[in-house]
Structure 1
Amino acid sequence: MRFTYVESMTDASYYLPLARAAEEAGYTSFAVADSLVYPRESDAVYPYTADGDRGFLEDKDFIETFTLIAAMGAVTSRIRFTPFVLKLAVRPPALVAKQASSIAYLTGGRLGLGVGVSPWPEDFTVMGVPWERRGKRMDEAIEVVRGLTGGGYFEYHGEFFDLPAVKMSPVPTEPIPILVGGHSEPALRRAARLGDGWMHGGGEAAELDRLLGRLAELRAEEGTADRPFEVHAISLDAYTPDGVKRLEDKGVTDVIVGFRLPYVKGRDTEPLEQKIEHLERFAETVIAKSGS
């Protein structure tokens, strides 16, 4: 089992020392949230809270995802970084491919590219991208990013993206894992068909079991069940060694852990020192006892 530390919507000056502390404590990865803008008015709802309220996002610090990963990568040497998740459907995939390959190259392959559609229509509006057929656009974007980050010439002719034969340099020596986030049926099928893994956004234990079961069915249908596949999950089981073993038995490869509830309005008032204490205590009581 591998362990991912997540901290988001906190004081932006905390991220570099937290990355160093998580690496020193033995975490495999640091999950990085992605957010573009916060609208004054919106009817959209957040899909991973009970009431759908997104007010907790207002006035929270979000450093641009690739910029933050590059900065944390520069002060660490081993820990991996995983956007959780990058809103790929609203971004130009050729630019994402250049950003991702550059970071993977500079960090020695320490990037797992978590990607998602974005539940916010406003993200599409401000980026000048149609909300309609966003799923198909997302599928094509994944194919473009994978093709351009693989090295050699790549061309693509789809409904949304049309590329002549082009290549980028440098690219990492190993492929960048593309991890698809989302709980919907289209997201699960996208992960099964196009992804190197799936990222779970949290929820009840029974729902995680259902999602894992459905994902296995879809991978069988898509003919991808024999491929290596990462499963990143949020679960209360992740906070004990016995629970970690249960998750491992279900096929989870990476657990995502954090030590405060991020879905609250207002600034995060927890001091940096306390955050480091939390992540170090978990490393001592769980990571060190889980055979990782």
Structure 2
Amino acid sequence: MRFTFADAMTNPQYYVPLAKAAEDAGYHSFAVADSICYPEVSDSTYPYTPDGSREFLENKPFIEAFILITAMAQATERIRFVPFVLKLPVRPPVLVAKQAASISALFGDRLSLGVGLSPWPEDFDVMGVPFPKRGKRMNEAMKIIRGLTSGGYFEHHGEIYDLQSIKINPVPAKPVPMLVGGHSDAALRRAVRLGDGWMHAGGKADELDEILTRLAAVRKAEGKENDPFEIHVASIDAFSVDGVKRLEDKGVTDVTVGFRMPYQMEQDTQPLEEKIAALQKFSDKVIAQCG
């Protein structure tokens, strides 16, 4: 099992020392949250809070994901970074390909590209991107990123994007893993057909089991049940050695852990020293025992 550390909406000055501490403590990856903006007026709902409220996001600090990854990667040597998740359809895919390839080339292929659909129509509006057909937009964007980061000339002629033959340089020495977030059937199909893995956003244990069953069915239907495939899960089971074993038995490859509730209205006032102590304590009690 591999372990990913997650902290978000915290003091921006904490991220670099947290990345260093997570690397030293044996974490495999560092999860990076993505948020474009917060609209003053919106009737959108958040899919991962019980009541759909999104007010906890207001006035919370979010550093642009690729900039934050660059800063942390510069200060570390081994730990990987994974957006959890990058709101891909609101971004130009050629630019995302260039950003992902540049980070991978600079920092030893330590980027996994977690991507997903933004639930906020406002994100699309402010970026000048139509909200309809966002699923098709994401599918084509993933294909473009895959093609351009593989090296050589690549062209794409689809319903959403029409891209002449181009290439970018440098490209990663290894393919950038693309992981798809989301719990819908469409997200699971996208993860299997176009991605290298799936990312779970949290929820009840029985809900995870149901999603994993659906995911296995999709992999079998696509003839990919035996292909390498990453499954990143956020679960209470990850906080004990026995729980990690249960997740491994279900086919989970990576667990994401954080040590405070993110869906809070209040600003994060936890001192950096307490954050580092928490990630180190987990490493001592769980990661070291699962090695």
TM-score range, shorter chain: over 0.9
User: Matched residues in 2 for 1:183 and 1:95: separation?
Assistant: 27
Partner of 2:193: 193
Partner of 1:125: 125
Match of 1:286, SS?
helix
The Cα of 1:189 is off from its aligned counterpart by: 1.1
Report matched runs for 1:144-155 at 5 Å.
Answer: 144-155=144-155
User: Matched residues in 1 for 2:224 and 2:156: separation?
Assistant: 22
Partner of 2:47: 47
Q: Identity percentage over the alignment?
A: 65
Partner of 1:25: 25
Partner of 1:230: 230
Partner of 1:183: 183
Partner of 1:168: 168
Q: Which amino acid aligns with 1:73?
A: A
Structure 1: segments with no counterpart, 5+ residues: none
The Cα of 1:224 is off from its aligned counterpart by: 2.2
User: Matched residues in 1 for 2:233 and 2:141: separation?
Assistant: 24
Partner of 1:34: 34
Runs of 4+ more than 4 Å apart: none
Partner of 2:203: 203
Q: Which amino acid aligns with 1:276?
A: I
Q: Which amino acid aligns with 2:145?
A: V
Q: Which amino acid aligns with 1:16?
A: V
Q: Which amino acid aligns with 2:77?
A: S
User: Matched residues in 1 for 2:116 and 2:285: separation?
Assistant: 32
The Cα of 1:237 is off from its aligned counterpart by: 0.4
User: Matched residues in 2 for 1:65 and 1:2: separation?
Assistant: 22
User: Matched residues in 2 for 1:62 and 1:225: separation?
Assistant: 37
Instruction: Verify: 1:246 aligned to 2:241, yes or no.
Output: no
Count of residue pairs the alignment pairs up: 291
- Offset from partner CA, 1:30-80 (integer Å, 9 cap, x none): 000000000111111111111110001001110000000000000000000
The Cα of 1:266 is off from its aligned counterpart by: 2.3
The Cα of 1:226 is off from its aligned counterpart by: 2.5
The Cα of 1:229 is off from its aligned counterpart by: 0.4
- Offset from partner CA, 1:234-271 (integer Å, 9 cap, x none): 00000001100100110000000000001001210100
Partner of 2:97: 97
The Cα of 1:225 is off from its aligned counterpart by: 2.0
Partner of 1:216: 216
Structure 2: segments with no counterpart, 5+ residues: none
Q: Which amino acid aligns with 1:9?
A: M
Match of 1:115, SS?
strand
Q: CA RMSD in A?
A: 0.6
